[in-house]
Chain A
Amino acid sequence: MKNFAVSCASNPKGLSGVSSEQSGNSETLILQQGNTAARYDAADDDRVASFADAFGARMAGGLAHDDGQFRAMLEALPVPVYATDQDGWIRFFNNAAADFWGRRPRLGEARWCGSWRLYDASGLPLAHDQSPLALAVKKNCSLPASEAIAERPDGTRVPFLAYPKPLRDSQGAVCGAVNMLVDISERKQAEQHQKTLVDELNHRVKNMLATVQSLAIQTIRSAGVGRDVLRAFDGRLFALGRVHDLLTQAQWQSTDFKAVLDTVLRPLGPAVQGRIVTNGGPVRIAPREAVLLAMVLHELISNASKFGALSCRDGTLSVVWRETEAGASRSLHVEWQEANGPEVASPEKQGFGTRLIERGIASELKGAAEISYDPAGLHCSIRIPLATPKV
């Protein structure tokens, strides 16, 4: 545990100390005023922003009545902080800022930001007079935390969040600005690392699916089984592959039901797609729900294409879904209705599709699915309790 407090004589605004406490991976910023202390979680952007606000307000008083103690206190602050005059010329920076920039700009010669070079979050060059602090001074207001990248003279780049705030004198006129910089390299690295891992995992899963596909082809060919068997197998395997792609894009977080439905409808030709009506609002579903639903929808589509409404020219399909809420729990309801197709008859034996729809939904997702073989058109009703809370 690292713990250092900065003591100094009380200044006109009553700010008596700024400190930081480190415990494990978490860091707390503390503003001390007389006998009271305000604590801010350094990992929480909103809390850091309010720290910057409170700090900036007190700093305006402190810089105006500087007795040397105030600067000493800022020097000891572990977070990069610098202050400028109303024209943006840097009048103060602490040691943490010099470490962050990798240089010590001359006071009064560097303007808006002390970094060697600046880039925006996407990596495009950013002029110093467009830096977050410059914009805050020019617009005369505190701006929400903005992300940018600083380059040091040695070429290393540091992504950071800036919390700039104009300082006002006792009459309310802008007399300068203060900026606090928060290094977010670790967060960025972790995000990139996670993305690489997910991409790598998907790559392996897809290769494994291709291997399974090849094994099936070699086996089926040597057994002299018809090509329609192979096509049915490919269809199921590809449905699984496409929903994995979708989930990889979503970093295996929740995804939208409509996007899952689209992965199933996409392989159909435009003429067939023109006979399908889909209707429903956004519904977030968990990866596990997405995988099973993609497989279920694929079975319904291939049944419709082989025997149902999509097997003839005039048949139509409607897929309508909605989300319902009861207290804290959410449910997804999907109504699948075929019409104007060949007359529907109940199958003589239960195939993989029916089994997956009725039993898979019930046992894996704790929901319910019912298929009715209405002669006018197959109808399937699905209800699933959703695992993820509403966003």
Chain B
Amino acid sequence: MTDPRTGETAEIFRGLNVMVVEDEAIVSFMIEDMLLDHGCAAVWHASNVSAALAILDARQPHLAVLDVNLGGELVFPVAKRLEEAGIPFVFATGYGRNGILRDWAHHPIIHKPYDGNTLARALSALLPR
């Protein structure tokens, strides 16, 4: 991809492991493809809160992408755990900023539907410079 900060092609995601929490399988395929296309090493997928917490018990991703509503269950326990571990993340959701996400609006939010470049821009802003 083109790094928006330098304007040069930079594979800034090479070697990174990303956790994706998304309850809809078809949507998760697309997010996984977007991340792998941008050079990520591995995508760890969870479709609910307990599966996501189990991933975090065993491994430490570099970044995370969180859907907010996981079939009626809210993703916030995962967000809290990531905050504690210092792992940066974006919310990728169909909700607006002012409703359910009011208390979390200091984290980046991207709105469904989005393309791979939008996701990459949001994630690259979270990486240490």
Interface residues of A (CB under 8 A from B): 195-196, 199, 202-207, 209-215, 217-218, 221, 234, 237-238, 241, 245, 248-249
Contacts and interface: CB of A to CB of B under 8 A. Distances in A.
Given A199-B99, A245-B111, A206 B27 contact: no
A237 B113 contact: yes
A347 B29 CA distance: 37
B96 A202 contact: yes
Interface of B: 24, 26-27, 29-30, 33, 69, 93-96, 99-100, 111-115
B24 A211 contact: yes
B96 A207 contact: no
A234 B115 CA distance: 7
Contacts of B96: 199, 202, 245, 248-249
B112 A215 contact: no
Contacts of B114: 210, 238
Contacts of A202: 94-96
If over half of B's interface residues share one DSSP class (helix, strand or loop), that class is named, otherwise mixed; here it is loop
A209 B95 contact: no
A221 B69 CA distance: 28
B26 A215 contact: yes
B113 A241 contact: yes
Given A199-B99, A211-B24, A245-B96, A206 B30 contact: no
Contacts of B94: 202-207, 210
Contact of A213 (B93, B95, B113): B113
A249 B96 CA distance: 8
Contact of A217 (B30, B95, B112): B30
29 contacts: A196-B99, A199-B99, A202-B96, A203-B93, A203-B94, A203-B95, A205-B94, A206-B93, A206-B111, A206-B112, A206-B113, A207-B24, A207-B27, A207-B94, A207-B112, A209-B112, A210-B30, A210-B112, A211-B27, A213-B113, A214-B30, A221-B33, A238-B113, A238-B114, A241-B111, A241-B112, A241-B113, A245-B96, A245-B111
A217 B113 contact: no
Contact of B113 (A196, A199, A204, A209): A209
A248 B112 CA distance: 14
B90 to A, nearest CB: 15
A217 B33 CA distance: 10
A214 B115 contact: no
A137 B93 CA distance: 50
A82 to B, nearest CB: 36
A128 B30 CA distance: 57
A194 to B, nearest CB: 12
Contacts of B115: 234, 238
Contacts of B111: 206, 241, 245
A384 B94 CA distance: 31
Given A202-B95, A217-B33, A218-B26, 7 more contacts: A195-B99, A202-B94, A213-B113, A221-B33, A238-B114, A241-B111, A249-B96
A206 B95 CA distance: 8
B92 to A, nearest CB: 9
A241 B69 CA distance: 18
A132 to B, nearest CB: 28
B69 A203 contact: yes
A94 B120 CA distance: 64
Contacts of A245: 96, 111
A214 B29 contact: yes
B24 A213 contact: no
A218 B25 CA distance: 13
A213 B99 contact: no
Given A199-B100, A203-B95, A207-B94, A214 B112 contact: no
Contacts of A204: 94
Contacts of A203: 69, 93-95
